[in-house]
Structure 1
């Protein structure tokens, strides 16, 4: 408050300007408020607001920042950008204050102090805006959490009814594995399933899997909280309705178990990476340096598959950081019949290799 007191003390020496300016302030405030506010508010209320606000800001008696902050919050709640209104009004006021100082042959320090004052006022409104947005985000998080809690309860109720026919789906190197399970019990938001009849031990703690139950059109995504293969018990949590991404794919996609180098070329710049998965539709690639590649870029793709060199045009569909590397999804744009045959045969052969590994688990 000390710095405000110093500014107030200074501006009180030119108080005649502020005493005479109230009417002009109110007129300008009403003008820009009407341009900014979407709601139709009676002019008498806008004038009253302007008068009260002027007295708070320019009588230089009390600290107005708390009142200004509260006003900012209320205005933002009613969808009025009070900062935009006051920015215009303050700019006009600063211009006319400068003219007053010139006419009265006053020192430039008064203008500097006035500018510092309105910057403080606008900063206070900025803080109110940030706090208002934060409060909206907190409310949104609360709503989402409530919705998720309701959704979880609904899913658990369904699983209690469908307890004898619950299919848990996981993906092993992109190959779907379906485990038929039975409900043992529920505890809070955790579901205990009997998976003793599943021949493949593919579930891993904290990995996400999917559930399908009879006569339910939606699939359910959930997290593996614990897995006890010796007792055949799978504990799932964090339930929500979600589509299974792999089911939307047009082509068989398989992950590779060995590093397969790939070169991406954009505008004569070569970027080297490793192929993570592949299908006739495209590839997933890990890069240590993206070299300014962007989503939507078209690149030449070169890699060798079973002794055959594939050279094809592709489009980057997504870029996703993954630890120290970056994963890029690329869609093939111009596969030749021979390229498609080679990649299709490789994907099929790789799928059988994965199935053999599954049987060994």
Structure 2
């Protein structure tokens, strides 16, 4: 480094830098330090960078600040940019060489890069700490579930297994046969709909007096033994139970035309209830949350034209799924309600015959 920082500018500018730093910190809502502490921090940074010219001392300041949960990188960057701006004015006013400016910019870039590297190391350290805490928490939760399941096994308390087949809820009573580390082996009692569990990735358990249902990942199922293996447990509400209306998947996927003003697009039904309809589209539809639309389709030979409102538009694999809430007329509600009920019986009958 040349004698750049022996320039009178840097001796006179110290207070200005500190004031800029303090002002920048005030604009940040996450700053929890007092103004006096911020001024001290800014003073130490300026001294390290422009008086002692010690990058190592500067990096130590950054590490100490981050360890104390103080992130001043944004304040430092903005204050440094203001310093460069004011130094340009100083050069022009005093007809000085622009080589000094080049050297200052290179030096500023260097210490900002060093600060970002320290910051990255700190973030990685925090990430590892969070992961370790999560592992410890997961271990504690896993041990708690093991104790619960062991007690249920020893007392031979029945549990309820729940899954969904073509959007229709299916439940079967079961007993826990074995608890092995993080897994449980569950045997079905009399269950007419056991085959609904074959293709389920996740299954819910309902236990008497439990605060919530327990979501579990299905590891394997042995139909001949009427046994299923489950793991990865967590207390979670069953999403389908939060719905106001029962949905069903139609046996035959019929075409649905959605109209918004002069725009229309054809899709294929995903599921339907008296509350609304899910529709799959091959291409992204020109629809947004809250759009008022008209939904046209034929249900069991009856043409229906229903007012609706778009509730969501999401990408699902290779297609787009749109959820539309119905605003039904009494006759339309009667038609769809009858269809949904009939379809539920068909699905349950289909399960029994599988």
Task: State TM-score, norm by structure 2.
Answer: 0.86
Q: State the Cα distance separating 1:123 from its structure 2 match.
A: 4.0
Q: 1:25–1:89: 8 Å Cα contact kept in structure 2? A: no
Of residues 191, 201, 207 in structure 1, which corresponds to 2:195? 201
Q: 2:172–2:191: 8 Å Cα contact kept in structure 1? A: yes
Decide whether aligned partners of structure 1 residues 226 and 318 sit closer, same or farther in structure 2, where only a CA change above 3 A counts.
same
In structure 1, C-alpha distance between the alignment counterparts of 2:116 and 2:133, rounded to whole Å: 26
CA shift digits 1:36-74 (9 cap, x unpaired): 543226x3x655544432233224855x1x554443344
Q: State the Cα distance separating 1:139 from its structure 2 match.
A: 4.2
Matched, 1:109 2:99: yes
Q: What does residue 350 of structure 1 align with? A: 343
Q: What does residue 264 of structure 1 align with? A: 258
Decide whether aligned partners of structure 1 residues 140 and 320 sit closer, same or farther in structure 2, where only a CA change above 3 A counts.
farther
Decide whether aligned partners of structure 1 residues 104 and 335 sit closer, same or farther in structure 2, where only a CA change above 3 A counts.
same
Decide whether aligned partners of structure 1 residues 149 and 296 sit closer, same or farther in structure 2, where only a CA change above 3 A counts.
farther
Q: What does residue 3 of structure 1 align with? A: none
Q: What does residue 84 of structure 1 align with? A: 74
Q: What does residue 236 of structure 1 align with? A: 230
Matched, 1:16 2:10: no
In structure 1, C-alpha distance between the alignment counterparts of 2:344 and 2:96, rounded to whole Å: 86
Matched, 1:153 2:143: yes
Decide whether aligned partners of structure 1 residues 70 and 340 sit closer, same or farther in structure 2, where only a CA change above 3 A counts.
farther
Q: State the Cα distance separating 1:76 from its structure 2 match.
A: 4.3
- What secondary structure is seen at the aligned counterpart in 2 of 1:277? strand
- What secondary structure is seen at the aligned counterpart in 1 of 2:104? helix
Q: 2:295–2:306: 8 Å Cα contact kept in structure 1? A: yes
- What secondary structure is seen at the aligned counterpart in 2 of 1:52? helix
Q: 1:155–1:239: 8 Å Cα contact kept in structure 2? A: yes
Q: 1:29–1:50: 8 Å Cα contact kept in structure 2? A: no
Q: State the Cα distance separating 1:190 from its structure 2 match.
A: 0.4
Q: What does residue 40 of structure 1 align with? A: 34
Matched, 1:289 2:276: no
CA shift digits 1:148-195 (9 cap, x unpaired): 333333233222222330111111112222111111111111000112
Matched, 1:28 2:22: no
CA shift digits 1:83-141 (9 cap, x unpaired): 33323432442233223322442232322332343234334444545555555555444
Q: How does 1:178-327 map to 2 (within 5 A)?
A: 178-195=171-188, 197-199=190-192, 200-204=194-198, 207-327=201-321
In structure 2, C-alpha distance between the alignment counterparts of 1:69 and 1:314, rounded to whole Å: 59
Q: Which runs of 5+ in 2 are unaligned?
A: none
The alignment of Structure 1 onto Structure 2 pairs a total of residues equal to 347
In structure 1, C-alpha distance between the alignment counterparts of 2:213 and 2:248, rounded to whole Å: 22
Decide whether aligned partners of structure 1 residues 304 and 123 sit closer, same or farther in structure 2, where only a CA change above 3 A counts.
farther
Q: 2:313–2:320: 8 Å Cα contact kept in structure 1? A: yes
Q: State the Cα distance separating 1:309 from its structure 2 match.
A: 1.7
Q: State the Cα distance separating 1:222 from its structure 2 match.
A: 0.5
Q: 1:261–1:303: 8 Å Cα contact kept in structure 2? A: yes
Matched, 1:52 2:35: no
Q: State the Cα distance separating 1:80 from its structure 2 match.
A: 3.8
Alpha-carbon RMSD across the aligned residues, in angstroms, is 2.8
Q: State the Cα distance separating 1:317 from its structure 2 match.
A: 2.1
Q: Which moved more, 1:297-306 or 1:51-60?
A: 51-60
- What secondary structure is seen at the aligned counterpart in 2 of 1:216? coil
